[in-house]
Amino acid sequence: MEGHSPLSVSARKLESNLSGDPARISVADPGLSRLRLAAAAVAEAGRIGWWSAFYLVRFLLGRGRGRDARLRTAALLRGYLLRMGPLYIKAGQVLGTQSGLLSKQETDEFRSFFSELPPMSDAALRKVLRNGLGAPVEQMFSSFEWTPVAVGSVAQVHRAVLPEGDPVAVKVVKAGVRARLVASSWLLEKLLRIGHLMSRRLRKYEVPAHFAELRPLLTGQCDMRQEELRQAEVAQNFSNHPYLRVPRTHDRLCGPDILIMEYVDAIRGQDVELVDFPRPALAARLQDVFYCMVYFHGFFHVDPHPGNLMFGADGEVVLLDFGLVGRLSEDDKWNLSSFYYACVLGQWELAVERFTRAFVPQPRRLAPTQSRYAAELADVLRAHFERQTDRWSTMAFFDDATRLVRAHGARVSTRFSLLALSLLTGEGVVSQVDPDIDIWRNARRFTDRFSPYLSEELKERFEREIGRQVPNSMSARREAANYLVAPTHLDRFVLPSAFPLVVREASGAKFLDLDGNEYIDLSCGYGPHVLGYAHPVPVQAIQDAAARGAVNAIGNPSELQLARHIAEAFGTGSKVILSNSGTEAVQMALRIARAYTGRQRVGKFEGHYHGFSDQGTVSSWFRYSGSPDSPEPIANSAGTQRSVVADTLVLQYGEANSLARIEAQAASLACVVLEPMPAALADFDETFLRELKNVCARNGILVIYDEVVTGFRVHYGGAQHLAGVEPDITCLGKVIGGGLPCGAVVGRAEVIDIARTTQDPFLDVDSRAFVGGTMSGNSITAAAGVAVLEHLRDHPEVYTGLRQKTAWLTKEMKAHAVEHGIPCNVKGSHSVFSITFDYASPRLVRDRLVGSNIKANLALAYYLRKHGVYMPELHTMLLSDAHSETELEKVSKAFGSSIGEMVENGFFTS
């Protein structure tokens, strides 16, 4: 294990590219008194001057050609960097990985930098420990090994045992290192400034500004409290991971100079030859871990050299040392993924555009040579992604791209450079573990796994196995595409279905497609068919109502009856407005809330979808932005009105911080809208719902529950009846239309009456919310809704049955997943359930989506079809009263067989 590794020489090659945007890396800059800093800087200047002269002379004297001379130079450089101190040793560590910068023998020269650096003296160690622990070592530990198990540039590590008997690793910052780091970085900054002033050529690289940005990062490596927080965050990101382990820290025992963590007995990264695990698989695992940190977590190890890795039994990878960690925002991750996506598809023009958006902070500088820049970058991309794929390396590509951007007068961003440094080191290690690894193929496998794009091989297989099963659906779709934008509901946006079905007829829990294939359906039409398809109750009601003549925009008895049933379900004094869809219901509720409160803004929760309106889709599920604690609202569709987005406060469900943010912005908030039982969770947080209600009530903000899916599905009424928490307004849809288009708003009379006339036309326009809808409450829909609600009201056993069926099926599915040993989260209750393939259970929706194996989810939908089960792709699944035990047993069996086949076909290998 290595301590903390400052950036330097070859890292400086990267630093010289740095742009002015913040690296967003949280580290403390340990303060030193001015006097001590000045003294340390003078000493540092003397040391640098003396050793630079000394090594320069030796280099000049021993200069020569050929392999031996190069090896001699490498040895000299090694000695020089060692003398120069912690800030420079990082360069040696980068050189010590198989990064392609040096030959194998030259690389070996730098390998001792990973753990064999000189430790501090015993006396100094005792002093640091005594000060840091606040008690003698003998009191804090039942045993302590004074010989370090590893020594890095910043810290050294000792093995010890806590009084309770737990073996621990004690990481101690080396005496004097903090002062030296601060002083040498201070000095370096000054030297860079001088260089900047004196050299015109250097000036355009804006090195001092970039170094100033990195400086706190470098010096902050010495703060063990900060490092403990970073380590805990990475550990959390990988909790339950099948083969990546991050040692648990003992946070209460940590201080500025001391970090105490569990002791992991494993093989050091540099001794990888001792690991009894196939090298290619081990290398693929490492690459997977590094990429996972970058692309999913956006929180990555900048410094994953062998000294910061260990290998446990069965190819377990242990990641250590979080002194230098980079962070990518949601937008960075989005940009990075969208760039790779274009590369995977070979769309070079788009890739150039996305690369520039992602990594060039001042793209206007490219304007004078824009078309040449675009053409040359497209060539670079083509060369790396198309032609050199057998010897692909991110670093080589980054290097060429950086050079090109620079040649056109612009820079790449700091984050890009840190990413490059991380991948330079990481891919170097990966190549060291398996020199034959095909980095691109693995990277491609990685991007495949987490994007819906299907690899050519997979596409072919699905065409063969699924496409051929549904030729009539496929040709109907092709034909319809000439005149219908969305041939089916699924074939429309972001993640279109590769094989949308056209259904000929549906009955009970099954439907028949145009090709005569029969499926057990797990979509329930995305919600309405809680009794199953073609249930006699709504069918009869619809037939009778149609025979009586479709009445709309004039009162009809069914409309009144439907409103009464809904109002009764939501408590005495409730009032109802009917609409044609869930989207409309939410729009009505928002207008009512604005009219009622006289305020403009809306609070909504990240990942909650409220229909396709501008407001309903803000930060809903395709795209998120801003920090997890304080998300920025972002449109999820082109054409969204910007002011609607800007007027949204985006919150996180279940997080106390959301309540504080509501309170802080209360004066402008008309309402907070949410799914009380978010579809992805299939559960609700009762305490949170209660606290949310209290905060909003205290501040005159209306609470709107969107129960479009859960209304009359999870309970007669909705999820609020399960939670026992009442909102001001509830939005309904789906079930209440008995299978026909419908929606409703229901709430306290005092609030809903804001949509009722005052009988004064002038006052109406000034103070009342207008809601319309020609077909709202039409007689056929209302009759179907009445019939279904009455059936549900009179048969409460339907709800008991749905609960039991969901519990049974999800238990079965989990058991199948365990049996096959795959990462799989099955969540469900009250007829709503979802499946994701992911080892982790992230707290926030944004992380759930990003980290999930989307490709496996899509594939599951297709594998299930082969077994006669229709699963809506990437959507929550729903059960109906019509699903019989036999059918659910078939679904369970189909799921077991499908994931078995998916395992065989390599969907879960890494």
Contacts with ligand PLP by CB under 6 A lie at 526, 581-583, 586, 609-611, 675, 706, 708-709, 733
Q: Is 706 designated active site?
A: yes
Nearest CA-CA partner of 824 in 798, 846, 857: 857
CA angle (661 as vertex; 656, 663 as ends), nearest 5: 100
Q: How far is the CB of 617 from ligand PLP (least distance, A)?
A: 10
CB atoms closer than 10 angstroms to residue 122: 10
**DSSP bridge pairs for 508:** 533
Helix count and strand count (H, E) for the chain? 35, 27
Name residues whose C-beta falls within 8 Å of residue 231's C-beta, 6 or more positions apart in sequence. Answer: 246, 247, 249, 259, 261, 322
For 832-845, b where at least 16 C-beta lie within 10 A, e where not — what string?
bbbbbbbbbebebb
3-state helix vs strand vs coil in the chain, percent to 5: 55, 10, 35
Q: How far apart are CA 659 and CA 689, in angstroms?
A: 10
733 versus 828: smaller Cβ distance to ligand PLP:
733
Q: How far is the CB of 551 from ligand PLP (least distance, A)?
A: 22
**DSSP bridge pairs for 2:** none
Q: Is 734 designated active site?
A: yes
Q: Is 434 designated active site?
A: no
Q: How far is the CB of 710 from ligand PLP (least distance, A)?
A: 8
The token pair at 264 is 């992991």
Q: How far is the CB of 490 from ligand PLP (least distance, A)?
A: 13
Pairing of strands 648-651, 702-706: unpaired
CA distances to 20, 109, 291, 470, 851 from 333, rounded to whole Å, are 19, 36, 12, 36, 12
Q: Which of 303, 332, 521, 706 is catalytic?
A: 706
671 versus 708: smaller Cβ distance to ligand PLP:
708
Q: Are 502 and 477 in contact (CB under 8 A)?
A: yes
85 versus 611: smaller Cβ distance to ligand PLP:
611
Q: Which residue is nearest to ligand PLP (CB)?
A: 582
The token pair at 374 is 């675009």
The token pair at 576 is 């109802």
Q: Are 518 and 512 in contact (CB under 8 A)?
A: yes
Q: Are 53 and 241 in contact (CB under 8 A)?
A: no
Q: Are 4 and 155 in contact (CB under 8 A)?
A: yes
Residue type, 807: A
Torsion of CA 347, 348, 350, 355, to 10 degrees: 130
Q: How far is the CB of 141 from ligand PLP (least distance, A)?
A: 55
Q: How far apart are CA 340 and CA 332, in angstroms?
A: 12
675 versus 812: smaller Cβ distance to ligand PLP:
675
CA distances to 214, 723, 726, 900 from 569, rounded to whole Å, are 60, 15, 12, 45
What is the distance, to the nearest Å, from the Cα of residue 166 to the centroid of all Cα atoms in its chain? 34
332 versus 675: smaller Cβ distance to ligand PLP:
675
Q: How far apart are CA 199 and CA 432, in angstroms?
A: 39
Q: How far is the CB of 837 from ligand PLP (least distance, A)?
A: 22
706 versus 812: smaller Cβ distance to ligand PLP:
706
Q: Are 468 and 495 in contact (CB under 8 A)?
A: no
Name residues whose C-beta falls within 8 Å of residue 394's C-beta, 6 or more positions apart in sequence. Answer: 420, 423, 424, 427, 439, 443
Helix (H) or strand (E) holding 195: helix 177-198
Q: Which of 263, 373, 533, 609 is catalytic?
A: 609
Pairing of strands 601-605, 669-674: parallel
Q: How far is the CB of 579 from ligand PLP (least distance, A)?
A: 9
418 versus 861: smaller Cβ distance to ligand PLP:
861
Q: Are 38 and 46 in contact (CB under 8 A)?
A: no
Q: Which of 13, 734, 805, 827 is catalytic?
A: 734
Q: How far is the CB of 604 from ligand PLP (least distance, A)?
A: 11
521 versus 706: smaller Cβ distance to ligand PLP:
706
307 versus 654: smaller Cβ distance to ligand PLP:
654
284 versus 878: smaller Cβ distance to ligand PLP:
878
Q: How far is the CB of 584 from ligand PLP (least distance, A)?
A: 7
Within 13 Å of residue 797, how many CA atoms lie on the same side as its CB?
Answer: 2
Q: How far apart are CA 255 and CA 190, in angstroms?
A: 31
394 versus 580: smaller Cβ distance to ligand PLP:
580
Q: How far is the CB of 678 from ligand PLP (least distance, A)?
A: 8
Radius of gyration for the alpha carbons in the chain, expressed in angstroms and rounded: 31
Nearest CA-CA partner of 717 in 738, 732, 739, 702: 732
500 versus 607: smaller Cβ distance to ligand PLP:
607
Nearest CA-CA partner of 169 in 253, 295, 45, 83: 253
First to last CA, the chain: 25
Q: How far is the CB of 528 from ligand PLP (least distance, A)?
A: 9
Q: How far is the CB of 781 from ligand PLP (least distance, A)?
A: 12
Q: How far is the CB of 742 from ligand PLP (least distance, A)?
A: 8
611 versus 717: smaller Cβ distance to ligand PLP:
611
- Catalytic sites, residue numbers: 609, 706, 734
